[in-house]
Homo-oligomer: A and B are copies of this chain.
Amino acid sequence: MSKANLTNRKTIHIEWGDCDPAQIVHYPRYLTYFDACTTALFKKAGLSKRQMLKTYRIVGIPLVDLRASFKTPSRFSDTVIVESEITEWRRSSFCVRHRLFKKNVLAVECFEIRVWAVTSEADPDQIESRSVPREVIEMFSAGDKRGRARQRSRQKKQK
């Protein structure tokens, strides 16, 4: 399997509306942060979400599995940093790891498994997975390859 090594760091300002009556971030909000972090990671690789859906005719990259551990709470007016990277590419799915740091301390860790998904032709209400295109995977790799993959993607858009 291809080893991914592109990492994205996203700064998040914890908002009042993200916190609950215990004065801490209401945990589903962390998952909302992490979804935006996955989007930002793809953007860094050269794929804005809107462009990615158009270019590859996918309906999205929905989650199929989620694990998270919450080690220390965050509060409104805190600023945190989330480091995100793809840890594994499988045939039609991939694993993303997010680590949220508060003042350099790991506060939340999250692992996602997502699928490369299209609308089912047999039943438009269903979603099916498809192989992740090789050029997408290459965009997350270091070195020359990434440049070449991005170039191919750009050429494809122009057709």
A interface residues (Cβ-Cβ under 8 A, vs B): 13, 15-17, 19-24, 26-29, 31-32, 35-36, 39, 48-51, 59-60, 62-71, 73, 75-77, 117, 125, 127
Contact = CB atoms under 8 A, between A and B. Distances in A.
Contacts of A50: 75-77
A107 to B, nearest CB: 12
B24 A127 contact: yes
Contacts of A15: 32, 35-36, 39
22 contacts: A13-B36, A15-B35, A15-B36, A16-B26, A16-B39, A17-B35, A17-B36, A21-B60, A22-B127, A23-B59, A24-B127, A27-B63, A27-B66, A28-B28, A28-B29, A31-B31, A49-B77, A50-B76, A51-B77, A63-B70, A65-B69, A67-B67
